[in-house]
């Protein structure tokens, strides 16, 4: 009799575990599909790269096949303008979506401790589960410490 009760408890527990697993399947499946639906984002910022300096823009002898392919397979912004023609404030505007007079970074020359506190799109992407990296010239002051919002950071002091 006792063995029948133990087998009955086991069967009940087994069925309950199976039902619990089945109830999670739609939730787990939905999470996977949401993760798969997120786009990959590659943001390339190059100083002093005018329109026409790439082979995909018609340059007669410069060959940029990898950048051309990214442009073919992704999104190209053909009508974009900077809010200020100076490196550091322009970079801060790209990263924050704010005008220089709003984010407070208006010159190249001094250390910008603000750059650690600004809310940037890489920081927002990281909070949304993206893995982000920064490689290259930062040029927002003479400080080369990693900025919030980046999982990987390879940079250097100054203008490069």
- Per-residue model confidence as pLDDT tens digits over 27-59: 555 555 555 678 888 888 777 777 788 898 889
Question: Catalytic residue numbers?
Answer: 87, 139
Contacts 24+ apart (CB under 8 A), 42-51: 42/70, 42/74, 43/94, 44/70, 45/91, 45/94, 47/87, 47/137
Question: For the residues 53-76, what does the mean pLDDT come to?
Answer: 89
- DSSP character at residue 55: G
From the list 116, 79, 85, 113, the residue with the least C-alpha distance to 100 is 85
Q: Which residue has the higher pLDDT, 37 or 23?
A: 37
Unique residue bearing structure tokens 């910022």: 45
End-to-end CA distance of the chain: 82
Q: How confident is the model at residue 15 (pLDDT cuts 50, 70, 90)?
A: very low
- Per-residue model confidence as pLDDT tens digits over 104-142: 888 876 656 677 788 999 999 999 999 999 888 877 666
With vertex at residue 93, the alpha carbon angle to CA 87 and CA 98, rounded to the nearest 5 degrees, is 150
């Amino acid at each position: 009799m006792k063995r029948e009760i133990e087998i009955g408890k086991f069967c009940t527990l087994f069925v309950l575990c199976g039902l619990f697993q089945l109830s999670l399947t739609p939730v787990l499946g939905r999470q996977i599909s949401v993760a798969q639906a997120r786009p990959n984002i590659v943001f390339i910022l190059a100083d002093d790269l005018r329109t026409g300096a790439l082979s995909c823009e018609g340059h007669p002898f410069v060959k940029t096949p990898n950048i051309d392919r990214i442009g073919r397979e992704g999104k190209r912004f053909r009508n974009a303008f900077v809010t200020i023609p100076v490196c550091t404030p322009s970079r801060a505007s790209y990263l924050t979506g704010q005008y220089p007079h709003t984010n407070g970074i208006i010159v190249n020359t001094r250390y910008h401790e603000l750059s650690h506190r600004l809310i940037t799109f890489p920081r927002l992407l990281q909070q949304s589960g993206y893995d982000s990296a920064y490689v290259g010239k930062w040029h927002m002051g003479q400080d080369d410490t990693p900025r919030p919002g980046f999982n990987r950071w390879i940079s250097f002091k100054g203008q490069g």
